[in-house]
């Protein structure tokens, strides 16, 4: 039975009681509001934001039977979180041959990218929506023995119901500034959710302090596992074709761009073209489903476009090459020397710059890097990155870097050095998680 504290302090007691009731109210509303949530999901399916063939998974229905033996459930919200946790799954799998791993994500892009990269005895399913019936259906079928949740997606029904069934570990945990302010307003509510985790492994010292302030138990800080992520994969044949098409032209990449950034990038290219720079600009949009809008907007600038998914080659007159295919970012990071990190000129929190750093790129980003605040701070302290304030700054920076190869190399080396120095926390994570996994497998062996 859930309880709230004894009324030793009236204000604390009343706050705890109110937040306890708030959690109950959330559970009630997600129960009685299930038809509306179903309707919302169906709308997402119609617009291509849900996988129509695997849609039942979002309602908690399994795609296949539960494998026998120990099952570790790993939840990662999207692509970045899923990629960061893959090395942990692989190491745990190598050390525990009889253990199966279920990885859940919530986006179609992550599903397409991740499934081919999972080790043996690991498989993917979509996370159920946070409705009591869907959660119950999911947990009843999969019966996880241990749950690992990556970073910051904490759905109340999923977390509290899973916490009653098995031990949970928060991996590479993160709390944004906005989330922290909200959790502080409902501190005892946050504590009810965070206390479901037996162990919290934060990605920065600031996150560790925040988790402890919000009442999380057993917080251990080792570092950020994103520094241990392997280099993004490439394809030598495809890479060779692109190198041949680009030739001697200077080329730069705007990676994981968001709405409004593509037009800014196109206009920067147009300005640089007018200054007689025979430049090629590659844009890799974060969400390729926006392609129709992106192509329309860029064509209005009068620039020549080639689209990768249409197998259009890069020609001498090509201004903008749109890399709208999945799983090929590693190719483009190897092709270029200058990378602008998208989601940072518009207020989207940025994207992971370490993927570019690991592949010896010169990194530029805008002012909005809130989702990678600690990484941003470390890169800037190491003088390994250029932070621009606006479109005009970005244009000037690209122009300067194209003419200054020595500066490019200096920045790229500093970024790579930081990544190499900060790597090594993966083993600490695996050791901590394995402690709990060995307890579970040991119990199962005894029961057998």
Residues of the chain with CATH 3.40.50.11720: 10-224+425-447
Q: How many CB atoms lie within 10 A of CB 190?
A: 23
Q: How confident is the model at residue 21 (pLDDT cuts 50, 70, 90)?
A: confident
The sheet with strand 71-75 has its strands ordered as: 122-126, 100-105, 71-75, 146-150, 167-173, 199-202
245: Cβ–Cβ under 8 A, 6 or more apart, which residues?
313, 314, 315
Domain 10-224+425-447 has CATH 3.40.50.11720: yes
pLDDT of residue 350: 96
Question: What is the average pLDDT across 334-362?
Answer: 97
Of residues 360, 357, 26, the one with CA closest to residue 224? 357
Residues of the chain with CATH 3.40.50.2000: 236-422
Q: Is the pLDDT of residue 444 over 90?
A: no
CATH class of residue range 236-422:
alpha beta
Q: Which of 15, 50, 57, 81 is catalytic?
A: 81
Extract the runs of DSSP E, i.e. beta strands, from 54-140.
71-75, 100-105, 122-126
Extract the runs of DSSP E, i.e. beta strands, from 136-250.
146-150, 167-173, 199-202
pLDDT in tens, 303-330: 999 999 999 999 999 999 999 999 999 9
CA-to-CA distance for 163 and 286, rounded, in angstroms?
33
Of residues 381, 394, 348, 392, the one with CA closest to residue 253? 394
CA-to-CA distance for 262 and 265, rounded, in angstroms?
5
pLDDT in tens, 233-286: 999 999 999 999 999 999 999 999 999 999 999 999 999 999 878 899 999 999
68 is catalytic: no
Average pLDDT value over all residues in the chain: 91
Q: Is the pLDDT of residue 295 over 90?
A: yes
């Amino acid at each position: 039975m859930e309880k709230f504290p004894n009324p030793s302090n009236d204000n604390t007691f009343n706050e705890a009681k109110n937040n306890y009731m708030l959690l109950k109210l959330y559970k009630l509303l997600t129960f009685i509001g299930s038809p509306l949530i179903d309707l919302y999901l169906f709308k997402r399916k119609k617009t291509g934001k849900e996988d129509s063939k695997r849609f039942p998974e979002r309602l908690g229905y399994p795609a296949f039977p539960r494998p026998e033996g120990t099952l570790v459930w790993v939840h990662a919200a999207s692509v970045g979180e899923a990629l960061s946790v893959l090395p942990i799954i692989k190491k745990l799998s190598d050390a525990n041959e009889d253990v199966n791993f279920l990885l859940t994500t919530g986006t179609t892009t992550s599903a397409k990218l991740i499934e081919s990269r999972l080790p043996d005895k690991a498989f993917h399913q979509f996370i159920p929506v946070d409705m009591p019936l869907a959660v119950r259906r999911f947990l009843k079928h999969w019966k996880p023995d241990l749950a690992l949740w990556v970073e910051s997606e904490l759905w109340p029904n999923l977390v509290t119901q899973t916490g009653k069934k098995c031990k949970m570990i928060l991996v590479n945990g993160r709390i944004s500034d906005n989330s922290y302010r909200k959790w502080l307003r409902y501190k005892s509510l946050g504590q009810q959710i965070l206390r479901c985790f037996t162990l919290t492994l934060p990605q920065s010292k600031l996150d560790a302090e925040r988790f402890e302030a919000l009442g999380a138990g057993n917080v251990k800080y080792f570092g950020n596992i994103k520094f241990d992520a392997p280099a993004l994969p490439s394809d030598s044949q495809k890479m060779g074709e692109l190198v041949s098409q680009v030739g001697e032209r200077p080329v730069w990449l705007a990676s994981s761009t968001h709405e409004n950034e593509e037009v800014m990038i196109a206009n920067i290219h147009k300005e640089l073209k007018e200054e007689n720079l025979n430049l090629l600009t590659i844009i890799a949009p974060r969400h390729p489903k926006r392609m129709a809008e992106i192509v329309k907007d860029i064509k209005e600038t009068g620039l020549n476009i080639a689209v990768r998914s249409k197998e259009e080659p890069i020609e001498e007159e090509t201004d903008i090459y749109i890399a709208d295919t999945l799983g090929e970012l590693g190719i483009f990071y190897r092709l270029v020397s200058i990378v602008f990190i998208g989601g940072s000129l518009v207020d989207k929190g940025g994207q992971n710059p370490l993927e570019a750093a690991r592949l010896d790129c010169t990194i530029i980003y805008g002012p909005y890097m809130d989702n990678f605040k600690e990484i941003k701070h470390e890169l800037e302290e190491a003088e390994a990155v250029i932070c621009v304030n606006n479109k005009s700054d970005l244009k000037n920076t690209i122009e300067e870097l194209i003419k200054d190869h020595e500066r490019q190399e200096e920045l790229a080396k500093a970024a790579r050095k930081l990544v190499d120095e900060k790597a090594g926390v993966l083993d600490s994570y695996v050791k901590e998680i394995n402690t709990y996994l060995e307890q579970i497998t040991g119990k199962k062996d005894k029961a057998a």
